[in-house]
Amino acid sequence: MKLAAAPGDIAADWLKVPHAEPGNRIGLFGGSFNPPHSGHRLVATTVLSRLALDQIWWLVTPGNPLKARTELAPLNQRLHLTRNIAVHPRMRVTACELAFGSAYTARTVEMLRMRRPGLRFVWVMGADNLSGFHHWRDWRSIVEQIPIAIVNRPGATLSALSAPMAIAYGKQRINEDDAALLPDLSPPVWTFLHAPLDSASSTDLRRSSR
């Protein structure tokens, strides 16, 4: 798959895997962030607190293979906008996925686990992405590689919990009261976190800016 940007187009600092100490608990929050908004930040702050994470890394993807690129803002712009949203001492923004040469989450997770074997990773996503998760390339590989934390989003709670992934791995779901255990558990394992709802939407923001 051809990526929407080349590594040479992006400043080298954006391409680095963020620093973390061995044993750190790291949330991986991937997305187009086109544009990032307060709902994204709410997801990030929720998992930071509820999972007792040391850091959360915002993985700004070069392009989502399941979405049209016609409205996709340049990666460099999305990186800077995301950094403006992710203002927190334990949040990092990176385009390391571009350096890995793949826009697919399964490959990104595989590369990060290989490069940083001493870290305890958790995949983070909003519930609005779960209904289509089974369309992601090698989605079962993602579930088998890394614990997953899903945070509710407006209008997505019920549909998310009836999604193919939630059904296929229903027995591997842990109660959200035990969410802080998630980074220490072996996959497949996941949890669904209820949190205050923020109706901000990247789609609505793009429409309003036209």
What global pTM score does this model have?
A: 0.92
Query: Which residues in the chain come in under a pLDDT of 70?
Result: 1-6, 8, 66-69, 202-210
* Per-residue confidence (pLDDT) for residue 159, from 0 to 100: 80
**Domains of the chain, with CATH numbers?**
7-208 (3.40.50.620)
- By DSSP bridging, strand 120-126 and strand 190-193 are unpaired
pLDDT for 90 equals 98
Sign of the alpha-carbon torsion through 202, 93, 185, 112: positive
How many residues does this entry show for the chain?
210
pLDDT the model gives residue 205 = 64
In this prediction, residue 107 carries a pLDDT of 95
Say what the pLDDT of residue 208 is. Answer: 63
For residue 119, the Cα-to-chain-centroid distance in whole angstroms is 16
Q: What is the DSSP string of 141-178?
A: HHHHHS-EEEE--TTTHHHHHTSHHHHHTGGGEE-GGG
